[in-house]
Amino acid sequence: MKTYTTEQIRNVVLMGNTKSGKTTLAESMMLEGKVIDRRGTVEAKNTVCDNTEIEQLYQRSIYPTLFYTEYGDFKLNFIDTPGSDDFIGGLISAFRVADSGVMLVNGQHGVEVGTEIFSRYAEQHNKPLFLAISQLDHEKANWDASLDSLKEAFGSKVCPLQFPVETGQAFDSYVDVLSMKMYRFKDDSGNREELDIPAELTEQAEELHAELIERAAEASEELMELFFETGSLTPEQITQGLTLGFSKCEIMPLVIVSGKKDIGVKRLLELITLIAPHPGQTSAKTVSGEEVPCDVNGPASLYVYKTSQEQHLGDIAYFRVMSGKITEALDLVNVNNGSRERISALYVAAGKKREKVTHLVAGDMGCTVKLRSAKSNHTLNAAGKDWEFEPITFPPAKFRTAIKAKSDKDDEKLGEILNKASAEDPTIVVEYSKELKQIIVSGQGEHHINTLKWHINNTHKMEVDLLAPKIPYRETITKMAASSYRHRKQSGGAGQFGEVHMLIEPYVEGAPENTRFKVDGKELVLSIRGREEHTMEWGGKLVYYNCIVGGSIDGRFMPAILKGIMERMEEGPLTGSYARDINCYVYDGKMHPVDSNEISFKLAGRNAFRDAFRKAGPKIMEPIYLVEVLVPSDCMGDVMSDLQNRRALIEGMSSEKGFQVLRAKVPLAELNKYSTTLSSLTSGRASFTMTLAEYTQVPADIQEKLLREYEEEEKDE
């Protein structure tokens, strides 16, 4: 491979809706650069990018794939990203290391769900985009409708550089209004002839060329003055204006491509080298706020944006060189965990095809193997540098499920598999919930999680079940209640004895201490000897009062009583959920001079608390989530109706760039598989986020149902 400078490198995200033709276009790009010697097809399952078994099974991209091509004096790194929102993590990680993007649009459908969603993410990450209309050789292709849908979605940013002569099966040529030439393709190998524009297309070409000049002139005051003076701009000045407008995300150049017939691919690569920014024009921010320029003369530093595992190779780390030069045998320090790493081998990657290189300069991308502890989001620096680049922020999970191995003996192995899956794809979040006694796996959608299940079943040969996750309810009380419990056990030798009298009431933040209570019609006045306030890990508080007078319970047993109460708070008396917000007064009891011990008083305290809790107007609290749905206006009624059926409280609506934003508070119990339902209602065009808002009391009928279910569970056990 030739040696390239930072200025000769371009890093580009390749994106588009499923079936827009990204993988096929990638094949033609690599063929143009002689990275491969024949073009694979999705149908033949021999493409560079969709190279895993599951991608070939579904015939769609699931993982982001790094590939490169060479064009003239340039090296172009691309990351082919999945076309489904369920695998959005691949696009987000690609945006971190790329400087621009190509948005592929299917000429049969125009702007689709993925086009809308991915362009929003591009805008959030401030990445300029080329637009490329593909598949104009299909009989149902419609150039005008596709162009109209793009202008409706992106407005005046859309800047056509080309238009087709014909669409459908006769599609073999296009007019380029930047060069003002027509290109006709002789075969499916990219061989073209450059022709003058036919007379019948001249007017259309001149009209678009004039618009192009005006758009280029608007990019800077200098170009605008030249335009006013001369009435036109030179080809070099037009390119300069496009470059400026593109870098400011004000212009989206629109081109035509057919990966299948290799039409327009060479021109797209050329335009990327002319217009897209090179890495040296960018800088990266560290967590401390320092701006690090992409300078080959700076200290060596790389950022790992993705890791994966391959049989026979082990862990592979994909990275971008952020500064300096990375060479073989270079020693670096992982700033995230302090470990030292040696770069044993360096590769440039085209899917699973890897070519060994001796070095990579600032701005270039590649991969290495056998790093000991480098993971996604880690920064590796030359000794003496403590740069830590900002981590990738992934969207919050939208789909959660419980997962369980069919065989208990596989539990430990399942944990290892899930942890590795999460390391490779950080949008898979794995949590063992001690509260719910379940492993909860969260992801971006049902298809995302089903893909994980496929891997566990087929790659690791383990059978697992996906189950509805339990809901993390909370239990508390609404009134005061008192109870006593005597624990007595005698079975030869030393016995067990402990008796505890207890009173509980709701804890209210800022309320004054209470010492007077009515119990069974009699007034009870307590003398507080000690107070301990405990903030619970799961929220809320327990305040424990020692009100023992006269030595009815020895002080050494008070911690044991508290331990028993804490155990019952951790497994609430109603449904086994966590309990919270309770004042607990221990005011009397009895001891035995021989048989009393800590275990006796722990059990007495635990059971006295349970009995008092059940008499204190107990209530179950459920988690309520604030759900924000970004929904097309024409789907608003269906989405709102569905939310109301989920016991949602609609809080407000607003509009955002052609979409409606619907805000509602919804019980978590009603959100199971909501992402799947929302996708079905809106044909995949809506997206949503959910964040915990509060806990509120469940309706009476649901509380009764939960109590019955818990009783049945206890009977079964």
- Euclidean distance between CA atoms 494 and 319, whole angstroms: 67
Question: Around Cβ 518, how many Cβ atoms within 10 Å?
Answer: 10
Q: Band the pLDDT of 58: cuts 50, 70, 90.
A: confident
Average pLDDT, the chain: 94
pLDDT over threshold 80, residue 656? no
Asked if 318 contacts 65 with a C-beta cutoff of 8 angstroms, the reply is no
Q: ∠278-280-283 over CA atoms, to 5°?
A: 110
Residue 520: half-sphere exposure toward Cβ, Cα within 13 Å: 4
Asked if 620 contacts 698 with a C-beta cutoff of 8 angstroms, the reply is yes
- Euclidean distance between CA atoms 65 and 51, whole angstroms: 9
**Which pLDDT belongs to residue 430?**
96
Contacts of 416 (CB under 8 A, 6+ apart): none
401 phi and psi, to 5 degrees? -150, 160
Q: Band the pLDDT of 685: cuts 50, 70, 90.
A: confident
3 state SS of 314: strand
**Which pLDDT belongs to residue 495?**
87
Mean pLDDT across 79-96: 95
3 state SS of 61: coil
pLDDT over threshold 90, residue 713? no
475-617 has which CATH code?
3.30.230.10
CATH 3.40.50.150 fits 284-381, yes or no: no
Q: Which amino acid is at 531?
A: R
Q: Which of 486, 436, 478, 493 is nearest to 621 (CA)?
A: 478
Q: Note the pLDDT tens digit of each residue in 263-279.
A: 999 999 999 999 999 99
Query: Which DSSP letter does residue 468 get?
Result: P
Q: Which of 396, 609, 585 is nearest to 484 (CA)?
A: 609
Give the whole-number percent of the chain exceeding pLDDT 70: 99
Mean pLDDT across 469-478: 95
Q: What residue spans in the chain does CATH classification 3.40.50.300 cover?
A: 8-194+249-277
Query: Which DSSP letter does residue 263 get?
Result: B
Asked if 444 contacts 397 with a C-beta cutoff of 8 angstroms, the reply is yes
State the DSSP string of 597-632.
-HHHHHHHHHHHHHHHHHHS--EEEEEEEEEEEEEE
**Which pLDDT belongs to residue 175?**
97
Q: Band the pLDDT of 469: cuts 50, 70, 90.
A: very high
Burial class (CB in 10 A: 0-12, 13-18, 19+), 376: buried
Query: Which DSSP letter does residue 389 get?
Result: B
Q: Band the pLDDT of 424: cuts 50, 70, 90.
A: very high
Q: Band the pLDDT of 596: cuts 50, 70, 90.
A: very high
Mean pLDDT across 496-520: 94
Q: What residue spans in the chain does CATH classification 3.30.230.10 cover?
A: 475-617
Q: Note the pLDDT tens digit of each residue in 104-151.
A: 999 999 998 889 889 999 999 999 999 999 999 999 999 999 999 999
pLDDT over threshold 90, residue 59? no
pLDDT over threshold 70, residue 657? no
Q: Band the pLDDT of 689: cuts 50, 70, 90.
A: confident
Q: Note the pLDDT tens digit of each residue in 613-629.
A: 999 999 999 999 999 99
Q: Band the pLDDT of 543: cuts 50, 70, 90.
A: very high
Fold entry, domain 621-702: Alpha-Beta Plaits (3.30.70)
- Euclidean distance between CA atoms 696 and 712, whole angstroms: 25
- Euclidean distance between CA atoms 528 and 524, whole angstroms: 13
Q: Crossing angle for the helix pair 265-275 and 235-247, nearest 10 degrees?
A: 80
Q: Band the pLDDT of 717: cuts 50, 70, 90.
A: low
Q: What residue spans in the chain does CATH classification 3.30.70.240 cover?
A: 621-702
196 phi and psi, to 5 degrees? -70, 155
Q: Crossing angle for the helix pair 235-247 and 199-217, nearest 10 degrees?
A: 50
CATH 1.10.3720.10 fits 8-194+249-277, yes or no: no
Q: How far is CA 49 from CA 52, 62, 119, 247, 519, in A?
A: 9, 10, 22, 28, 74
Fold entry, domain 402-465: Alpha-Beta Plaits (3.30.70)
Question: Around Cβ 464, how many Cβ atoms within 10 Å?
Answer: 21
Q: Band the pLDDT of 659: cuts 50, 70, 90.
A: confident
* Cα separation of the two ends of the chain: 67
| Sign for the pseudo-dihedral over CA of 665, 671, 674, 677 | negative
Q: Which of 482, 475, 569 is nearest to 523 (CA)?
A: 482
pLDDT over threshold 90, residue 312? no
